[in-house]
A = this chain, B = another copy of it.
Amino acid sequence: MSLFQNSTILKILEDYKTIWALNHLIALASWDHETYMPEFGVNARGTAMAKVSGLTQNLFLNKKFVDLIKKANDQKNLTDAENGVLRLLNKSLKEYQNLPQDFIEEFVEVTTGAQVAWRNARAKNDYSIFKPFLEKIINLSTKQAEYLGYEKYPYDALLDQFEEGLTTEYVDKFFNSIRDFLKTLLSEIKSQSNYSQNSPIELAEYDHSIMKKTNYSVLDYFHYDSKKLRLDKSSHPFSLSLGNSDIRITTRYLKNNFASSLFSTIHEFGHGLYNQQSDDELAYSPIDGGVSLVIHESQSRFWENMIGRNRKFIEKFYPQFLKLNKDFKKYSVDDFYYYFNQVKPDLIRVEADEVTYHFHIMIRFEIEKMMMAKEVNVDELPELWNSKYKEYLGVSAKENDFENGILQDIHWSQGAIGYFPTYSLGTILSAVWKSFLEKDLGDFSELLTSPEGIQKIKDWLKTNIHQYGGTYTLDELVQKVTGEDFSTKYWKEYLRNKYTT
| Chain A residues packing against B (C-beta within 8 Å) | 17-18, 20-22, 24-26, 28-29, 32, 36-41, 43-45, 47-52, 54-55, 59, 225-230, 232, 242-243, 245-247, 283-284
Closest chain B residue, CB of each to CB of A43: B245
Q: Are B284 and A40 in contact (CB under 8 A)?
A: no
Q: How many copies does the complex hold?
A: 2
Q: Please pick, from B37, B39, B47, B247, the residue contacting A17 in the complex, using a CB distance under 8 A.
A: B47
Q: Please pick, from B48, B225, B232, the residue contacting A25 in the complex, using a CB distance under 8 A.
A: B48
18 pairs, A vs B, C-beta closer than 8 Å? A17-B51, A18-B54, A21-B50, A21-B52, A21-B55, A25-B26, A25-B28, A37-B246, A38-B226, A40-B227, A40-B245, A41-B242, A41-B243, A41-B245, A44-B242, A44-B245, A47-B284, A55-B59
What separation, in Å, do the CA atoms of A245 and B54 have in the docked complex? 23
> Chain B CB within 10 Å — which of A25, A226, A246 has the most?
A25
What separation, in Å, do the CA atoms of A44 and B245 have in the docked complex? 8
Closest chain B residue, CB of each to CB of A25: B25
Q: Are B21 and A28 in contact (CB under 8 A)?
A: no
What separation, in Å, do the CA atoms of A36 and B37 have in the docked complex? 13
Q: Please pick, from B20, B41, B48, B226, the residue contacting A228 in the complex, using a CB distance under 8 A.
A: B41
Tell me whether chain A's interface is mostly helix, strand or loop, or mixed.
helix
Closest chain B residue, CB of each to CB of A26: B25
Q: Are B227 and A55 in contact (CB under 8 A)?
A: no
A370 CB to closest chain B CB (Å) equals: 36
What separation, in Å, do the CA atoms of A43 and B244 have in the docked complex? 10
What separation, in Å, do the CA atoms of A45 and B21 have in the docked complex? 8
A405 CB to closest chain B CB (Å) equals: 27
Residues of B within 8 A of A24 (CB): 44-45, 48
A64 CB to closest chain B CB (Å) equals: 13
A295 CB to closest chain B CB (Å) equals: 22
Knowing A38-B226, A227-B40, A228-B38 are in contact, say whether A242-B45 is a contact too (CB < 8 A).
Answer: yes
What separation, in Å, do the CA atoms of A351 and B17 have in the docked complex? 42
Residues of B within 8 A of A17 (CB): 47, 51
Closest chain B residue, CB of each to CB of A31: B32
Residues of B within 8 A of A48 (CB): 20-21, 24-25
- Extra 7 A-B pairs, beta carbons < 8 Å, given A32-B32, A36-B36, A41-B245: A18-B51, A21-B47, A25-B28, A28-B29, A38-B229, A41-B243, A44-B243
Residues of B within 8 A of A36 (CB): 36, 230, 232
Knowing A29-B28, A32-B32, A44-B283 are in contact, say whether A246-B38 is a contact too (CB < 8 A).
Answer: yes
Closest chain B residue, CB of each to CB of A244: B44
Residues of B within 8 A of A26 (CB): 25
A256 CB to closest chain B CB (Å) equals: 25
Q: Are B243 and A43 in contact (CB under 8 A)?
A: yes
> Chain B CB within 10 Å — which of A43, A48, A230, A245 has the most?
A48
What separation, in Å, do the CA atoms of A34 and B245 have in the docked complex? 16
Residues of B within 8 A of A18 (CB): 51-52, 54-55
